[in-house]
Amino acid sequence: AQKVTQAQTEISVVEKEDVTLDCVYETRDTTYYLFWYKQPPSGELVFLIRRNSFDEQNEISGRYSWNFQKSTSSFNFTITASQVVDSAVYFCALSPWGGGGSYIPTFGRGTSLIVHP
Amino acid sequence: KAGVTQTPRYLIKTRGQQVTLSCSPISGHRSVSWYQQTPGQGLQFLFEYFSETQRNKGNFPGRFSGRQFSNSRSEMNVSTLELGDSALYLCASSLVETRDYNEQFFGPGTRLTVL
């Protein structure tokens, strides 16, 4: 069975602070995907990043960076110099690699990030 | 290009009724997935349709069903509604042009309230 734990239910920061959202996962699969999504108040999920289990390179995209550590089963997400527009609920998700382009995700409970001006 | 559209956006039903939700994927996308989001259970995968066939299914009772039409539009149906079915139902579409992961694009959701 797969499990994703986002221990931080809510994080509150002041604009320009750096913030890290934690994600720890459990799976017996040797090949899998990890994801981060953003859910703004409007409701639709916005894809942020996908990482394959065999690719442990960290990634940076603008103010966003991700740290994947297979040894600790963690896939943490850092926002540098946070902005009010970053306020949203962030979900970490895990899926086995099913092939054929399909996947079955298991989501964490989400972390609500509030960025105060 | 238009995004994923879901109709209706809001719906109120009573226990025991049935409901049908609709999802129109991005033009050219052939895979449609459905998700349920509740405060209690969080975000959960319901099922995925590809080329009019259910390709994957989450752990939900048979009251939850879906289908996909030849134009890739999809509907999901919930029969004999229960209070616990109150949720935001999200639909996502993807292109499916490679055997690797294909990014999903989500719609705004349908907010279902069961009274």
Q: DSSP alpha helices (H): ranges in chain A?
A: none
| Max intra-chain CA distance, chain A | 45
How far A105 CA lies from chain B's nearest CA (Å)?
7
**Which positions ≥6 away from B61 have C-beta within 8 Å?**
none
Subunit contact A44:B107, Cβ cutoff 8 A? yes
The average pLDDT across A36-61 equals 89
Radius of gyration of chain A from Cα atoms?
A: 14
How far A97 CA lies from chain B's nearest CA (Å)?
8
From chain A, the residues in CB contact with B58 under 8 A are 104
B39–A contact, CB cutoff 8 A: no
Q: 3-state SS string over B56-112?
A: EECCCCCCEEEEECCCCCEEEEECCCCHHHCEEEEEEEECCCCCCCCCCEECCCEEE
Whole-angstrom distance, CA of residue B91 vs CA of residue B104: 9
Among the partner residues B55, B56, B101, nearest to A33 by beta-carbon distance: B101
Joined tokens for residue A78: 């850092």
Mean pLDDT of chain A: 92
pLDDT tens per residue across span B24-77: 999 999 999 999 999 989 999 999 999 999 988 999 999 999 999 999 999 999
More confident call, A101 vs A9: A9
Whole-angstrom distance, CA of residue A4 vs CA of residue B47: 19
- The count of C-alpha atoms lying within 13 angstroms of the C-alpha of B23, restricted to the half-sphere facing its C-beta, is 32
CB pairs A-B closer than 8 Å: 59
pLDDT at B42: 93
pLDDT at A42: 86
**Which positions ≥6 away from B41 have C-beta within 8 Å?**
none
Mean pLDDT of chain B: 92
The average pLDDT across B7-15 equals 97
Whether the per-residue pLDDT at A98 is higher than 70: the answer is no
How far B58 CA lies from chain A's nearest CA (Å)?
8
pLDDT at A61: 87
Whether the per-residue pLDDT at A85 is higher than 90: the answer is yes
pLDDT at A14: 97
A33–B contact, CB cutoff 8 A: yes
pLDDT at A39: 95
- 3-class SS of residue A86: helix
